[in-house]
Amino acid sequence: MKLAVACGLVLSSLLAVSSTAEQFDFFYFVQQWPGSFCDTWRGCCFPDTGKPAADFGIHGLWPNYAQCHGGDDDASFFSIVGRRGKCWPEYCEREDGNALSPWEIRDLVASLGRNWPTLSCRSGDSFEFWSYEWKKHGTCSNLRPHDYFARALALKAAHNLTAILAAAGIVPSDTETYSLSSVSDAIAAATGATANLQCNRDKDGQTQLYQVFQCVDREAKKLIDCPLHMRSRCSGDRVKLPLF
Ligand code: AMP
Q: Tell me the Cα Rg of the chain.
A: 20
Tell me if the pTM is above 0.85: yes
Atom of ligand 1 nearest to the CA of 57: 19
Active site amino acids = 59, 133, 137
Q: Which H helix or E strand runs over 200?
A: strand 195-201
What does the pLDDT read at residue 22?
Answer: 83
In a mutational test of the pocket of ligand 1, which residue from 129, 141, 210 has the highest number of ligand atoms less than 8 Å from its CB?
Answer: 129
Is 59 near ligand 1, meaning CB less than 6 Å away?
yes
pLDDT along the chain (244 residues), means of 10: 47 44 94 98 98 98 92 47 78 92 98 98 98 98 97 98 98 97 97 97 97 98 92 91 98
Q: What residue ranges do the domains of the chain occupy?
A: 23-159+193-235
What does the pLDDT read at residue 177?
Answer: 98
What does the pLDDT read at residue 21?
Answer: 84
Q: How far is CA 231 from CA 59, 211, 213, in A?
A: 18, 12, 11
Q: How far apart are CA 106 and CA 52, in angstroms?
A: 20
Q: What is the distance in A from the centroid of ligand 1 to the CA of 59? A: 7
For the domain made up of 23-159+193-235, give the CATH fold. Answer: Ribonuclease Rh; Chain A (3.90.730)
In a mutational test of the pocket of ligand 1, which residue from 59, 90, 129 has the highest number of ligand atoms less than 8 Å from its CB?
Answer: 59
What is the CA 156 to chain-centroid distance, rounded?
Answer: 10
Q: What is the distance in A from the centroid of ligand 1 to the CA of 1? A: 54
Non-local CB neighbours of 85 within 8 Å, separated by 6+ positions: 68, 69, 70, 71, 72
Q: How far apart are CA 93 and CA 135, in angstroms?
A: 9
Q: What is the distance in A from the centroid of ligand 1 to the CA of 77? A: 20
What does the pLDDT read at residue 84?
Answer: 66
Q: What is the dihedral of CA 60, 186, 241, 197, to 10 degrees?
A: -50
What does the pLDDT read at residue 16?
Answer: 38
Is 134 near ligand 1, meaning CB less than 6 Å away?
no
